Structure 1
Amino acid sequence: MTNYSGRRGFLLGGAVLGAGALVSACTSNEPAAAPASAAAAPSGPAGANDAPGTAVTIGFSAPAADHGWIAAIAKNAQSAAGRYSDVTFKPVEPTNDINQQISAVESLIQAKVNALVILPNDGQQLNQVARAAMDAGIPVINLDRVFPDKLSYRTWIGGDNYGMGVAAGHFIGDKLKSSGASNPVIVEIQGIATLPLTQDRSKGFADALKTYGFSVTAQQDAKFTVESGTQVAANLLQAHKKIDAIWNHDDDQGIGVLAAIKEAGRDEFFMVGGAGSANAMREIQSGSSVLQATVTYSPTMAASAIRLARLIAQNKGMSDLMENEVPQSITLASETITKDNVARYLPLGFES
């Protein structure tokens, strides 16, 4: 969900609780399904930095909520801001139009907000307006999709697309190796194949599988939509009469993938999802689905971005670190959610 080099691409993995706790003590343009509700950001443990401080206004700009993960981004940001009596949250109208987002960010600069959290539709195309904010003395917290110019943001926070692929590859590789599989048929359903975020996910997946002596048998993209997920999965199921494992990059499009699988009556394989949606977690929790795991890319990163913006605007650092200032870059880990740990993560899942 840009310069599409960072996205979600829906939990913070090893940092899903860790990042939230750390910050509080001081988370793809993907067109798709209709907007839906999402879990509120985790509160995290209280710390000295949570005590009221200097009043600050935080501006917020993100794409339109036409996808479950993006909808959850906005909800997490607003929820995090609402936890602080010293924060005034100033969001602008979400949009998928580049020029409209630029104008919206310019309005926040003119309003002289104390910090800006921006998830750009396109990092390259919004780079200049982000730089204008920084030049005006407004620190920019670049959320997920990275601006190419480091002078255009104070801090970047986002997920690890390559790490998502690695996590999925290890889960599938280990499970197949343990079962004694030989030359397994491994199918990969991507989001949008041309995006760097997708390519990063695929590379991580291939690299991890290689450590088990396995490789991807078939790969096709499903455009991050439920409809394409259904169609692509149906085609792959028809083309491969036997499949051992499937990795679907995106839990939102995974609704369509699972629908095609159920329609075909196929269950000889297991599947891994991507992002950490609530519906995917419920499938995993049921124990009766081919979906046995999902690898995280959580929209709770938006809550962490708001917390970082507050700390930066108040000239505070992260109290769990020795340094006096918030780091320049924070990459959140991707964790594997299975039936064994799904109860821990379900409250953080977003609705597709």
Structure 2
Amino acid sequence: MLFGTAAIGAGAFLTACTSNEPAKKEPAANEQPASADKPGKPVTIGFAGPQADHGWLNAINENAKSRAETYSDVTLDITEGSNDTAAQIGQVETLINKKVDVLVILPADGKALTQVGLKAMRAGIPVINLDRIFASPQAYRCWIGGDNYGMGLNAGNYIGEKLKDKPDAKVIELSGPDSLELTQQRTKGFDDALKNYPNIKKVARQAADFTVESGQAKMAQLLQAQSSFDALWNHDDDQGVGALRAIDQAGRDGFLMVGGAGAKAAMDAIKADNGVLKATVLYPPIMAASAIDLARALGQSKGVSGLSGLEIPAQVTLFSAVVDKTNIDDYLPQGFS
């Protein structure tokens, strides 16, 4: 993460930033005044996300709701959510017409919703762009999201270290949809990491759709095509449920699997340590809670405690920590269903 070495750092850091605890010392000249940490004027935050038809997306909504409830001075106006871009644009326009103080938007399609982000900004409503980025930086005041390249990079480095002493090691990849830029970034990060391990070769790749069914079907194809391999990098823990089903049905083992995102089911399997799944690389949905923190600070004209200046950052990138049996107890509470 931008502000720490663990994914939990962003949530903890930004929670502290807008905590209701009074400051215990006078601030230095270049620090935000102590009053910034006290309850402030009421703020209405409009929250527009995509349809929660995936474990990670549902966790995004739950993190936003839970964080808003911790603030007596925040009202969260949340839309139903839609994967239809026209419907989501309409929902955002409704929030604009309601004259909410700040907007938090996780667009189903960043490019398609850029214009409505610009509309909000021009109407004087600052926008926190969550995860899927708009096409223009003029469409948002702050972007906060995960590190897709770093996710692939850390997965590749983890696998590389596990296999660095194995001659002619083979790895395979079960990606997300190739139409998504995030998938391309995760694959590039993974491939770049493997360049540091000349003994390792990626021998196969299949693109799934972030669903259990697609994970099972595409993993079955990989298993049929590859009689043996040493490691599997799976981009998404939801589709990983299907991948593990295919692996069990085929009776395959003898390799290590690294997942992605940080679902509770994956973390439980890692803790049990009785199967091929040995690690997952976080893409933490706590970013939504941090987006609420930032939106509240914007609505109350506050900066972020711990940073000089009177403004929130323009960008916050969460770190993609690797969770395995050595640190599972630290991250297990963050696992999402």
- Output aligned runs, 1:144-159, within 5 Å: 144-159=131-146
Q: Is the 8 A contact 1:186 1:246 kept in 2?
A: yes
Aligned match for 2:82, one of 95, 100, 106: 95
- CA spacing shift, 1:336–1:230, aligned 2, 3 Å: same
- Structure 1 position 116 matched with structure 2 position 107: no
Separation of aligned partners in 2, 1:15 and 1:57: 30
Q: Hey, what does 2:253 align to over in structure 1?
A: 267
Partner SS, residue 145 of structure 1: coil
- Structure 1 position 208 matched with structure 2 position 199: no
Q: Is the 8 A contact 1:13 1:335 kept in 2?
A: no
What displacement does 1:324 show? 1.8
- Output aligned runs, 1:334-345, within 5 Å: 334-345=320-331
Q: Hey, what does 1:4 align to over in structure 2?
A: none
- CA spacing shift, 1:228–1:46, aligned 2, 3 Å: farther
Normalising to structure 1: TM-score of the pair? 0.89
Q: Hey, what does 1:317 align to over in structure 2?
A: 303
Q: Report the RMSD for the aligned CA atoms in angstroms.
A: 1.6
Separation of aligned partners in 2, 1:323 and 1:279: 41
Higher relative contact order (CA 8 A, sep 6+): 1
- After superposition, what is the alpha-carbon deviation per residue over 1:209-255, rounded to whole angstroms, capped at 9, x for unaligned? 11111331101111111111111111111211111000000000000
What displacement does 1:15 show? 4.2
Q: Is the 8 A contact 2:20 2:37 kept in 1?
A: no
- CA spacing shift, 1:44–1:317, aligned 2, 3 Å: closer
Runs of 5+ consecutive residues of structure 2 not aligned to the other structure: 24-35
- After superposition, what is the alpha-carbon deviation per residue over 1:83-104, rounded to whole angstroms, capped at 9, x for unaligned? 0000011011211111111111
Q: Hey, what does 1:78 align to over in structure 2?
A: 65
Q: Is the 8 A contact 1:294 1:338 kept in 2?
A: yes
What displacement does 1:50 show? 4.8
Partner SS, residue 293 of structure 1: strand
2:188 maps to amino acid:
K
Q: Hey, what does 2:179 align to over in structure 1?
A: 194
- Structure 1 position 185 matched with structure 2 position 176: no
- CA spacing shift, 1:68–1:46, aligned 2, 3 Å: farther
- After superposition, what is the alpha-carbon deviation per residue over 1:179-223, rounded to whole angstroms, capped at 9, x for unaligned? x21111100000102221111000000000111113311011111
Separation of aligned partners in 2, 1:248 and 1:159: 17
Aligned match for 1:66, one of 49, 53, 77: 53
- Structure 1 position 133 matched with structure 2 position 133: no
- Give 1 or 2 for the bigger CA radius of gyration: 2
- Structure 1 position 22 matched with structure 2 position 13: yes
Separation of aligned partners in 2, 1:333 and 1:341: 15
Separation of aligned partners in 2, 1:78 and 1:322: 29
- After superposition, what is the alpha-carbon deviation per residue over 1:87-141, rounded to whole angstroms, capped at 9, x for unaligned? 0110112111111111111111111111000001111111111111100110000
Aligned-pair identity (%): 55
- Output aligned runs, 1:219-234, within 5 Å: 219-234=205-220
1:206 maps to amino acid:
D
- After superposition, what is the alpha-carbon deviation per residue over 1:132-153, rounded to whole angstroms, capped at 9, x for unaligned? 1100110000000001111110
2:14 maps to amino acid:
V
1:182 maps to amino acid:
P
- CA spacing shift, 1:289–1:50, aligned 2, 3 Å: farther
- CA spacing shift, 1:69–1:44, aligned 2, 3 Å: farther
What displacement does 1:343 show? 1.1
- After superposition, what is the alpha-carbon deviation per residue over 1:301-345, rounded to whole angstroms, capped at 9, x for unaligned? 000001100001111111111122101011111000001111111
Q: Is the 8 A contact 2:19 2:38 kept in 1?
A: no
Separation of aligned partners in 2, 1:44 and 1:252: 33
Q: Hey, what does 1:283 align to over in structure 2?
A: 269
- After superposition, what is the alpha-carbon deviation per residue over 1:166-189, rounded to whole angstroms, capped at 9, x for unaligned? 110001000001xx2111110000
Q: Is the 8 A contact 1:284 1:291 kept in 2?
A: yes
Separation of aligned partners in 1, 2:6 and 2:38: 23
Q: Is the 8 A contact 1:189 1:221 kept in 2?
A: yes
Q: Hey, what does 1:105 align to over in structure 2?
A: 92
Separation of aligned partners in 1, 2:6 and 2:147: 11
- CA spacing shift, 1:331–1:148, aligned 2, 3 Å: same
What displacement does 1:295 show? 0.3
Q: Is the 8 A contact 1:24 1:46 kept in 2?
A: no
- CA spacing shift, 1:94–1:334, aligned 2, 3 Å: same
Q: Is the 8 A contact 1:13 1:297 kept in 2?
A: no
Q: Is the 8 A contact 1:23 1:318 kept in 2?
A: yes
Separation of aligned partners in 2, 1:47 and 1:96: 41
Separation of aligned partners in 2, 1:146 and 1:215: 32
Q: Is the 8 A contact 1:13 1:295 kept in 2?
A: no
